[in-house]
Amino acid sequence: MQLERVHPTPGKTRSIVEKFGFFKDREVVRRQWKRLNGTNFSVFEQFPPEVVAKRRGLVQKIKESRRQGKRSLKAYDILYVDGRPVKEYGGELVILP
């Protein structure tokens, strides 16, 4: 496995940031999160600040659509309702074809 950069992050917890040389190596590590249940370790993905802000806004829309009985999920920073991408126009959600 080729790592381009590994460094600790400041803060109370002892976390590290790793940059993988190959996407496939990153996915191998990311998919091992289930093996870490019951330990003091965890795996998280790091997204750019604008994506994090957009994802936070989508959480309320997901809860709202689930209350209406629809299946909804977010992938990266896109909201999907009943398997179709959704856009927001004037505060109202519109399901795209």
Q: What is the pLDDT of residues 27-55, one digit of tens each?
A: 888 888 888 888 887 888 888 888 888 88
Q: Which pLDDT band holds residue 92 (cuts at 50, 70, 90)?
A: low
Residue 30: which of 40, 20, 7 has the closest Cα?
20
| Residue 57 structural domain | 49-95
What mean pLDDT is predicted for residues 72-84? Answer: 83
Q: Which pLDDT band holds residue 97 (cuts at 50, 70, 90)?
A: low
Task: Reply yes or no on whether the pLDDT at 61 is more than 60.
Answer: yes
Q: Does 29 share its domain with 56?
A: no
More confident residue, 49 or 91: 49
Q: Does 32 share its domain with 55?
A: no
Q: Does 28 share its domain with 62?
A: no
Q: Is residue 9 part of a domain?
A: yes
Cβ within 8 Å of residue 22, ≥6 positions away: 1, 2
pTM listed for this prediction:
0.55
Q: Is residue 61 part of a domain?
A: yes
Q: Is residue 43 part of a domain?
A: no
Q: Is residue 42 part of a domain?
A: no
- Averaged pLDDT score across all residues of the chain: 81
The total domain count for the chain is 2
Please, are residues 65 and 59 in contact by the beta-carbon 8 Å criterion? no
